[in-house]
Chains A and B, each alone.
Chain A
Amino acid sequence: ETGVTQTPRHLVMGMTNKKSLKCEQHLGHNAMYWYKQSAKKPLELMFVYNFKEQTENNSVPSRFSPECPNSSHLFLHLHTLQPEDSALYLCASSQFKLGTGELFFGEGSRLTVL
């Protein structure tokens, strides 16, 4: 138990579906992240939120839409995805400071797009 909870753990969706991934952290952190992990590729940093404000969008397609309603919750809304979007989506949190400290990761949401 890392203090970062992701739901659902597994998700199968068609290309026309709309679904959302949820992340909640119980660590009192003020920064939250979405990463994408595909086989044989580096982890891709997708989005960063500091104090609920988005500070990084790493050229992510608009079919991925993040939402951070407060410092403890982070969502990733999915719409009209492609099969190549199938991956493990990892949420993380940290205490923001100059430079980057330790990230605490959730267990991930395994997404399969048919």
Chain B
Amino acid sequence: SQQGEEDPQALSIQEGENATMNCSYKTSINNLQWYRQNSGRGLVHLILIRSNEREKHSGRLRVTLDTSKKSSSLLITASRAADTASYFCATDDQTGANNLFFGTGTRLTVIP
């Protein structure tokens, strides 16, 4: 299936440090998205990057996409305790259908 796979599974950093999470996927995509989930809550969309884009920024977030390696990374700069959450990448399957597939996520803990 097209489900993405995030790496690492868990990440713990000090407040103010940068956090980098990686995502790999299997088949060609139209776009890749990153979502955040606070414990026991719904997912919240962070950023979408299209297959013809290589890098995108939104506030303290920086996303890169390498379609030749079928991988993406999410960088959160100057992390805050409030960034503590699970982060998921999600990909479509390029069929034209609006099916979106998620991985298991990276659990980020930012220590104050």
Which residues does A use to contact B, with CB under 8 Å?
Answer: 2, 4, 31, 33, 35, 40-43, 45, 48, 50, 55-56, 88, 90, 92, 94, 96-108, 110
Most B CB within 10 A of own CB, among A94, A97, A99, A100: A100
- Are A108 and B40 within 8 A (Cβ)? yes
Docked Cα-Cα span, A108 to B90, in Å, equals 18
In whole Å, how far is A76's beta carbon from the nearest beta carbon of chain B? 15
> Looking across the interface, which residue of chain A has its beta carbon closest to that of B41?
A107
Q: Tell me if B59 counts as interface (CB < 8 A to partner A).
A: no
Interface size class of B (residues with CB under 8 A): 20 to 34
Chain B contact residues, majority secondary structure: loop
Q: A94-B98, A97-B98 are in contact. Are A104 and B40 (CB under 8 A)?
A: no
- Are B104 and A40 within 8 A (Cβ)? yes
0 or 1 for each of B20-36: is its CB under 8 Å from A? (1 = yes): 00000000001101010
> Looking across the interface, which residue of chain A has its beta carbon closest to that of B5?
A42
> Looking across the interface, which residue of chain A has its beta carbon closest to that of B47?
A102
- Are A100 and B45 within 8 A (Cβ)? no
> Looking across the interface, which residue of chain B has its beta carbon closest to that of A56?
B99
In whole Å, how far is B65's beta carbon from the nearest beta carbon of chain A? 15
> Looking across the interface, which residue of chain B has its beta carbon closest to that of A31?
B98
- Are B43 and A103 within 8 A (Cβ)? yes
- Are B99 and A103 within 8 A (Cβ)? no
- Are B42 and A98 within 8 A (Cβ)? no
In whole Å, how far is B18's beta carbon from the nearest beta carbon of chain A? 25
